[in-house]
Amino acid sequence: MTTAALALRPLGEHLGTEALGVDLSRLDDDTFAWIAKSFAEHPVLVFRDQHLSAKDIASFGRRFGIPRKHALVKYRHPDYPEVSWLTNVEADGRIDWYGVKRATEWHTDSTYEKELPVLAMLHALEVPSKKGGTMFADMRAAYDALPAAMKDRLAGLVGLHGRSSGPAGERLYGADKGETERHYGEVPRPAVINHPVTKRPILFVNPMHTHGFQGMARDEAWPLIEELATFATQERFTYYHSWRPGDQLMWDERATMHRGAGDADPQERRVMMRTIVYPN
């Protein structure tokens, strides 16, 4: 195949990178190696104008690890269950008005589960005519910019993660967190982790799922979680992705937080395919 020149171009001022010259539907090993290398340094990577089937997305995901099936069967793609639908369009064609509000607080996915995902991907099929973006925060840059005293404080801390049990989870869902098949307990995770490839330190506290720290009273922990979230989501660490149909976006599930902007017209259709990848 003729390879167009592979190149990276910044999308946001601080975060968000476009990968040029890639056709993910005909991905070869060399191009994949370049993508994997780029992704280690650029934790929000976007490929424009991709025309991908669920099969293409599943096989792209499998190159990075094990794409996991959605917990709820109704969201799974019938032929490729490791790809799920992320949409506000119901089976009967009606629009779920609440869809625009879902996941609009900052979070990292599934930090309350035993195993952490490596990355997640979204492929946009239909997007609102304006707004309706997804926002990302660079938790490596946020950590680097923390005052030394805060870095010292965080060094020995272990966060406690539960399902939407943090301050932002309470704000968004309150007592109405929805039923799931599984019961989720509490998972301890260091407040600072290192990136598996680059070893860069990452602030690993998110206000949706982190509800405390080991050995710290709630009165002290709750404001600390809020303070860290406010710090990490300053404009200088964030990127707002404006979707175009054909976008394939992947984000590092350790190095970033994300949220739906929640700013689109709730009546407009939004249809995407999603995959979350776990380590091999």
Nearest-CB residue for Fe ion: 109
Q: Residues 215, 223: contact at Cβ < 8 Å?
A: no
* CA-based R_g, the chain, Å: 18
CA of residue 224 relative to chain centroid, distance: 22
Question: Structure tokens of 49?
Answer: 């104008």
Which residue in 72, 63, 164 sits closest to 109, CA to CA? 164
CB of 109 to Fe ion, least distance (A): 4
Distance CA 86, CA 99 (A): 9
Q: Which is nearer to Fe ion, 54 or 172 (CB)?
A: 172
Name the segment binding Fe ion (CB under 5 A); options: 20-28, 80-88, 96-104, 214-222.
96-104
Q: Which is nearer to Fe ion, 56 or 109 (CB)?
A: 109
Q: Which is nearer to Fe ion, 109 or 252 (CB)?
A: 109
* DSSP per residue, 219-230: HHHHHHHHHHHH
CB of 260 to Fe ion, least distance (A): 8
Q: Which is nearer to Fe ion, 31 or 210 (CB)?
A: 210
Range 75-80, long-range pairs (CB < 8 A, 24+ positions): 77/273, 79/54, 79/55, 80/54, 80/55
252 binds Fe ion (CB under 5 A): no
CB of 25 to Fe ion, least distance (A): 25
Name the segment binding Fe ion (CB under 5 A); options: 40-48, 87-95, 99-107, 188-196.
99-107
Q: Which of 105, 109, 138, 247 binds Fe ion (CB under 5 A)?
A: 109
Q: Which is nearer to Fe ion, 57 or 154 (CB)?
A: 57
Distance CA 42, CA 46 (A): 10
CB of 111 to Fe ion, least distance (A): 10
Name the segment binding Fe ion (CB under 5 A); options: 67-75, 97-105, 161-169, 235-243.
97-105
Q: Which is nearer to Fe ion, 6 or 103 (CB)?
A: 103
Distance CA 140, CA 202 (A): 4
CB of 220 to Fe ion, least distance (A): 27
SS3 label, residue 271: strand
Q: Residues 158, 190: contact at Cβ < 8 Å?
A: yes
Distance CA 41, CA 258 (A): 17
Name the segment binding Fe ion (CB under 5 A); options: 48-56, 92-100, 108-116, 235-243.
108-116
The interface mask with Fe ion, positions 49-88, x = CB under 5 A, is ----------------------------------------
Q: Which is nearer to Fe ion, 54 or 86 (CB)?
A: 86
Q: How many residues bind Fe ion (CB under 5 A)?
A: 2
Distance CA 8, CA 185 (A): 41
Contact positions vs Fe ion (CB under 5 A)? 103, 109
